[in-house]
Structure 1
Amino acid sequence: MTGSEVSPSFRLAYVPGVTPTKWVRIWNERLPDVPLTLVAVPAAEAPALLRDGGADAGFVRLPVDGPDLSAIPLYTEQTVVVIPKDHVAAAVDEVSLAELGDDIVLHPLDDTLGWEELPGKPAIERPATTADAVELVAAGVGVLVVPQSLARLHHRKDLTYRPLSDAPESRIALSWPEDRTTDLVEDFIGIVRGRTVNSSRGRSTAPAEPKPKSKRTESGGTRRKPAAGASAGKNPRGGSGGAKGTKGGARGAKGASGAKRGKPRRRP
């Protein structure tokens, strides 16, 4: 292999909370000769990583700044509040922002929700990361509002979470540099959008399966239907045949042999 013949590969970035397992599995099934490498990246650093060529595409949290990055929105996450299991809100199915008015609501520096106004009471200082904020919740310092996937990612046995109404939500998107929309990027876009391998927009198309042969062709041709009237009791030429004709012939033969003979007379 020469220096210019580099084996193709694909680098996929993903932010905390995103689980790309399903899409990676489909990639490996369709493009087994192209290795896919996963690159974990903090949500705030994902756009810069894509611009610098650290990944070919990535799952990011919207919004992404700048027209140089293309993005396909995929889904919106439920926002939840992470609380200790003995918190009063643990007894209800859903919590409103107003019900957090007496709580210290932690606001980590890597927060992914676009708050216009923070609920509850502010903490003395902001935790550096969401993981740090979860530790403070476990210590009884306050509560934490995050997308549901992050609550699951940082799950602890002594904590729980409840859906939070009236809160901003986080959206997940597939993003990549617009000027580097390669064939492999197009392949991955097709996988994420649910295109089949035979899609006209996909490059990796499977050969069409041969159509099964007709059973009539294998038997040597098409069977002809019997002509009208050609049944067991009819003569195809219009005359009567079969057992009825044989009976008539027998009567004719009997008539040709003459009258029936009587008994001989006895002499006196």
Structure 2
Amino acid sequence: MTGSDANPSFRLAYVPGVTPTKWVRIWNERLPDIPLTLVGVSAGEAFAALRAGDADAGFVRLPVDGTDLSAIPLYTETTVVVVPKDHVVSAVDEVTAEDLADEIVLHPLDDVLGWEVLPGKPAFERPATTADAIELVAAGIGVLVVPQSLARLHHRKDLTYRPVTDAPASRIALSWPEARTTDLVEDFIGIVRGRTVNSSRGRQGAPAQPQQDRKAAAAKKTGGKPRTAGKPAGKTAGRTAGKSGGGKAQARGAAAPKRGKPRRRP
């Protein structure tokens, strides 16, 4: 692992559909002196940006392109079909690929699902981008199957979406160049994996000091020996013993009145 002390900031790439807000907030809380810069890239450009050094790490869509990039899978997205609000699909909770057999299914050039066989009927021409395909759906030309995050990203009031239960799914991962696994990259990995500040594997906080070590360090500063838990020291012990003994003797000396049953008069 190489050092990263010379880097003035941490650059984080992310593909459309990923919202890194939560992780950025935690970074700013733990490492306020190291600014984090967000770098938006397309799904197709993400791996080239990491290799070129345009970002230290990035949220990408699997599979990872090549063996020189490390990756930690994070979550799998729900796949949905985007349709006009008055479309018949909007009347059901979910559909299958077979339910789209009579539909024109748009297949943009930046598709991220990696279909083996695209459902439905192909369009005359492939849209250049997902955004272009959304416009065609709104115009009533076809439907579009995408990860749910992209449907939300390109949300329109006249469109809606429903899950497609048997469609390919897109997985999001954190990736970075394996040869540049810097300390800052390790810090961000810890944040994404949910490690606390005092985690033994994180760099943001030192591991917790064992209790006995803390006691020994405190005793060394005062020039004494560490106290053993449960044993009172010096005069305090004598005073405590005296008080407890006197209390017991006084209790024994004062006899408590006996109680009996009241006699009944004849």
Which TM-score bucket, shorter chain as reference? 0.7 to 0.9
Distance 1:230 1:141, change over 3 A: same
Q: CA deviation at 1:114?
A: 1.2
Higher Cα radius of gyration:
1
Measured against aligned partners, the alpha-carbon deviations of 1:67-99 in whole angstroms (never above 9, x if no partner) come to 100000000000000000000010000011111
In the alignment, the residues of structure 2 paired with residue 79 and residue 207 of structure 1 have an alpha-carbon distance, to the nearest angstrom, of 42
Residue 203 of structure 2 corresponds to residue 184 of structure 1: no
Q: CA deviation at 1:204?
A: 1.2
Partner of 1:266: none
In the alignment, the residues of structure 2 paired with residue 79 and residue 143 of structure 1 have an alpha-carbon distance, to the nearest angstrom, of 13
Measured against aligned partners, the alpha-carbon deviations of 1:97-128 in whole angstroms (never above 9, x if no partner) come to 11100100000000000100000000001000
Partner of 2:250: 231
Partner of 1:139: 139
Partner of 1:33: 33
In the alignment, the residues of structure 1 paired with residue 147 and residue 236 of structure 2 have an alpha-carbon distance, to the nearest angstrom, of 67
Question: What is the 5 A alignment of 1:170-249?
Answer: 170-205=170-205, 221-222=236-237, 223-224=240-241, 225-226=244-245, 230-232=249-251, 234=253
Distance 1:197 1:95, change over 3 A: same
- For the residue of structure 1 that corresponds to 2:39, the secondary structure is strand
Q: CA deviation at 1:49?
A: 0.3
Task: Give percent identity, aligned residues only.
Answer: 77
Residue 155 of structure 2 corresponds to residue 155 of structure 1: yes
Distance 1:229 1:32, change over 3 A: closer
- The residue type equivalent to 2:61 in the other structure is R
In the alignment, the residues of structure 1 paired with residue 248 and residue 108 of structure 2 have an alpha-carbon distance, to the nearest angstrom, of 93
- For the residue of structure 1 that corresponds to 2:16, the secondary structure is coil
| Normalised TM-score (structure 2) | 0.80
In the alignment, the residues of structure 1 paired with residue 55 and residue 141 of structure 2 have an alpha-carbon distance, to the nearest angstrom, of 38
Q: Does the CA-based 8 Å contact 2:80-2:147 persist in structure 1?
A: yes
- For the residue of structure 2 that corresponds to 1:135, the secondary structure is helix
Distance 1:18 1:49, change over 3 A: same
- For the residue of structure 2 that corresponds to 1:43, the secondary structure is coil
In the alignment, the residues of structure 1 paired with residue 190 and residue 157 of structure 2 have an alpha-carbon distance, to the nearest angstrom, of 39
Q: Does the CA-based 8 Å contact 2:200-2:206 persist in structure 1?
A: no
The count of aligned residue pairs is 230
In the alignment, the residues of structure 1 paired with residue 132 and residue 63 of structure 2 have an alpha-carbon distance, to the nearest angstrom, of 24
In the alignment, the residues of structure 2 paired with residue 118 and residue 138 of structure 1 have an alpha-carbon distance, to the nearest angstrom, of 20
Q: CA deviation at 1:233?
A: 5.2
Distance 1:59 1:229, change over 3 A: closer
- For the residue of structure 1 that corresponds to 2:75, the secondary structure is strand
Partner of 2:219: none
| Normalised TM-score (structure 1) | 0.80
In the alignment, the residues of structure 2 paired with residue 96 and residue 7 of structure 1 have an alpha-carbon distance, to the nearest angstrom, of 49
- The residue type equivalent to 2:83 in the other structure is I
CA RMSD in angstroms comes to 2.7
Q: Does the CA-based 8 Å contact 2:14-2:60 persist in structure 1?
A: yes
Partner of 2:222: none
In the alignment, the residues of structure 2 paired with residue 101 and residue 7 of structure 1 have an alpha-carbon distance, to the nearest angstrom, of 53
The runs of 5 or more residues in structure 1 that have no matched partner are 235-240, 243-268
Partner of 1:169: 169
Q: CA deviation at 1:221?
A: 3.2
Q: CA deviation at 1:207?
A: 8.5
- The residue type equivalent to 1:190 in the other structure is G
Distance 1:152 1:229, change over 3 A: closer
In the alignment, the residues of structure 2 paired with residue 77 and residue 231 of structure 1 have an alpha-carbon distance, to the nearest angstrom, of 76
In the alignment, the residues of structure 2 paired with residue 79 and residue 58 of structure 1 have an alpha-carbon distance, to the nearest angstrom, of 22
The runs of 5 or more residues in structure 2 that have no matched partner are 216-228, 256-266
Distance 1:189 1:119, change over 3 A: same
Q: Does the CA-based 8 Å contact 2:200-2:207 persist in structure 1?
A: no
In the alignment, the residues of structure 1 paired with residue 81 and residue 252 of structure 2 have an alpha-carbon distance, to the nearest angstrom, of 89
Off by >4 Å, runs of 4+ in structure 1: 206-211
Distance 1:50 1:153, change over 3 A: same
